[in-house]
Amino acid sequence: MKFFVFLISLLVTTSSFAADPNVKKSDSGICHDKKSASYTQTKKFVPFESMEECTKSGGRAPVNAKEKEAADPIKKSETGICHDKTSASYSNTNKFTPYRSMDECLKSGGKPIKK
């Protein structure tokens, strides 16, 4: 009986987390936090505690996210290399995850450019 009660409480806890997580990764791989305009509209999702966890799982921030609005964000390419605006490949890096600083990019698992 105790085991049954434990399973029910675990199910309720998991369900309440999934119903209102901090971040939702949509089926299209976009990570929406509670500040995102699409957060409440995202019904099919994988829950995450943070944007960092979501992006590490392969998700990306929405196009209109503040990170993308930065004038010259640090770009982590699909190959995991962090490019700042002085990088020769910066303007050619079109598929990327934006970061506010090089330190943030490196902490996410990115690698510095070999010079």
- How far CA 89 is from CA of 60, 75, 81, 97, 108, in Å, comes to 21, 10, 10, 15, 20
Closest CA to 100 of 65, 76, 74: 74
**Residue 16 pLDDT:** 43
The per-residue pLDDT for 19 is 61
Q: Report the alpha-carbon distance of residue 74 to residue 70 in Å, rounded.
A: 9
Lowest mean pLDDT among 15-24, 25-34, 41-50, 104-113: 15-24
Strand order in the sheet with 45-48: 31-33, 23-26, 45-48
Which of 35-39, 65-69, 111-115 shows the lowest per-residue confidence on average (mean pLDDT)? 65-69
CA distance 56 to 102: 16
Distance set, CA 16 to CA 5, 26, 44 (Å): 17, 18, 15
